[in-house]
Amino acid sequence: MEANLTQAYDQIIARNPGEAEFHQAVREVFDTLGPVMSRNPQYTEAAVLERICEPERQIIFRVPWMDDAGRVQINRGFRVEFNSALGPYKGGLRFHPSVYLGIIKFLGFEQIFKNSLTGLPIGGGKGGADFDPHGRSDGEIMRFCQSFMTELANHIGPQTDVPAGDIGVGGREIGYMFGQYRRITNRYDAGVLTGKGLTWGGSLVRTEATGYGLVIFTERMLRTRGLSLDGMRIAISGSGNVAMYATEKAQELGGKVITCSDSSGYVVDKAGIDLELLKQVKELERGRVSDYVMRRGPSATFVPGGSVWGVPVDVALPCATQNELDGDAAAALLTNGVTAVAEGANMPCTPDAVTAFQKSGVLYAPGKASNAGGVATSGLEMQQNASRDSWSFEYTENKLAEIMKNIHDTCEQTAEEYGHPGDYMVGANIAGFIKVADAVIAQGLI
Ligand code: GLU
């Protein structure tokens, strides 16, 4: 980090003690902003960095609900409304036992720059709860979502803050939350949430968008070296929405996806992942990846624990969760000759891993650029809601592809302009930041 940034960084760490993931996300951005700050003294004068790092509003609330056994359960809910210089706060809700303020702030912080990169008028926010949906009945999930929304409804709205899904929050949860919002407010505000069902304001392609966008970005990045996914061996971690649709698109482009994983372990399928079977096991039955192996036959093996990164591949797409790919995993991928790494999850590579990829010269795409397809298509859902319209799959997918290509090219050109050709992290951070910083300054000291 350059000297002109360390003072601001130290202050931010001191003001936000114990939030390791937030510190990591801030550091990743600050490490790349030195040249921007030197070229733009107005950013320092207006304390833009300090202002962007301090959320506009943070809401923490109690979520009481009753489980099937009649016991009272208490969880903690969060919504961090980080920055609205470019548009209403926008970002998902995560339901996972690891959730605490530091996780929501890291996600919200990343979301500001990601949303800026999409080119759409959306600010950054994130929320969630330390609720563990695993093993909960449908009734329990519904009661939890209703209780969560009973408080959240006070803070969101189509022009204010527009949540969506993230880990642990998919179409089912969005449905229960939308129902409760509608009931409380007595308004059909379709644009208050994205990721809705197709018959009640949802957008085609939203479900597939993060995974599809990731692969479109990866393909374009490979093309800068005259390569393509066709015929490449690909490791994908995770088995949720992002992993599943990244697998689908990668297979469509001729890639061979040979892994998937969940918190219990990972699968290697030499014949290539059978996506229909994986969808059946994970989406319909809400089962584990080990169930996939039991039904798949001899081409697939299940390894309890561990990670997919020791499997020799050409392309690695981490699509599970933050810090899932560390320095050792990066070293293993590099030893096995990996060509490109692109993040489908938010901050899945540790700082050690990122450094290793950058030093080795392999292609590396940070999530705030490569996984922006999800929130971008949420932006398209908002556009459809605002005009009471619904677009065809093909039209929406073309829009998504265009946005991903623009993000790619913006990152590439910005990295070049700032003297780091090929460094997508530098390109994404700088391009995402400048747009927000200029809007913050233009709108005065608020
Ligand atoms: N949770 C997703 C992300 O990390 C999507 C957010 C949204 O659609 O608002 O970008």
Mutate to test the pocket of ligand 1, among 167, 210, 380, 382 (most ligand atoms within 8 A of CB): 210
Do 253 and 352 fall into the same domain?
yes
Query: Across residues 68-76, what is the average pLDDT?
Result: 98
Ligand 1 in contact with 92 (CB < 6 A)? Answer: yes
pLDDT digits (tens, 9 = 90+) for 375-385: 999 999 999 99
The pair of three-digit structure tokens given for residue 413, joined into one six-digit string? 């050109």
The answer as to whether 29 is a domain residue is yes
- The model's confidence at residue 7, banded by pLDDT at 50, 70 and 90, is very high
Does 156 lie in the same domain as 272? no
244: confidence class by pLDDT, cuts 50, 70, 90 = very high
Residues 179, 227, single domain; the answer is no
What's the pLDDT score for residue 151? 98
Q: Please state the domain count of the chain.
A: 2
> Within this chain, do residues 242 and 122 fall inside the same structural domain, yes or no?
no
- Residue having the nearest C-alpha atom to atom 9 of ligand 1: 91
pLDDT value of residue 248: 98
The closest of 297, 246, 291 to 265, measured between CA atoms, is: 291
Probe target for ligand 1 pocket from 104, 120, 169, 375, with the most ligand atoms within 8 Å of CB: 375
Q: State whether 259 and 113 are in the same domain.
A: no
Let me know if 126 is a catalytic residue: yes
**Using an 8 Å Cβ cutoff, are 78 and 59 in contact?**
yes
In a domain, 437, yes or no: no
Q: Residue 1: its pLDDT value, please? A: 87
Atom of ligand 1 nearest to the CA of 90: 9
- Kindly report the average pLDDT of the chain as a whole number: 97
Confidence of residue 319 (pLDDT cuts 50, 70, 90): very high
Domain span including residue 39: 3-188
User: Whole-prediction pTM value?
Assistant: 0.98
In a domain, 414, yes or no: no
Looking at 337, 370, 403, the residue that finishes a domain is 370
Percent of the chain, pLDDT > 70? 100
Read off the pLDDT band of 167 (50, 70, 90): very high
Residue 108 has pLDDT above 90, yes or no: yes
Write down which residue in 154, 188, 222 finishes a domain.
188
Token duo for residue 328: 């050792």
- 232 and 138 both lie in a single domain: no
The answer to whether residues 74 and 217 belong to one domain is no
Q: Which of 347, 370, 393 is the C-terminal boundary of a domain? A: 370
For residue 313, give the nearest of 232, 427, 375, 401 by alpha carbon.
232
233, pLDDT greater than 90: yes
Average pLDDT over residues 178-197: 98
Distance CA 209, CA 203 (A): 10
Give first-to-last CA distance, the chain, whole Å: 28
Q: Is 137 helix (H, G, I), strand (E, B) or coil?
A: coil
Specify the CATH number for the domain of residue 35: 3.40.50.10860
433: left (phi over 0), alpha (psi -120 to 50) or beta: alpha
Taking residues 186-200, report their average pLDDT. 98
Question: What's the Cα-to-Cα distance from 206 to each of 110, 253, 376, rounded to whole Å?
Answer: 20, 20, 9
The response to whether residue 87 sits with its C-beta less than 6 Å from ligand 1 reads no
Does residue 50 lie in a domain region? yes
Residue 48 has pLDDT above 90, yes or no: yes
Q: Give yes or no for a contact between 236 and 260, defined as CB atoms under 8 angstroms apart.
A: yes
CA–CA gap between residue 382 and residue 370 (Å, rounded): 21
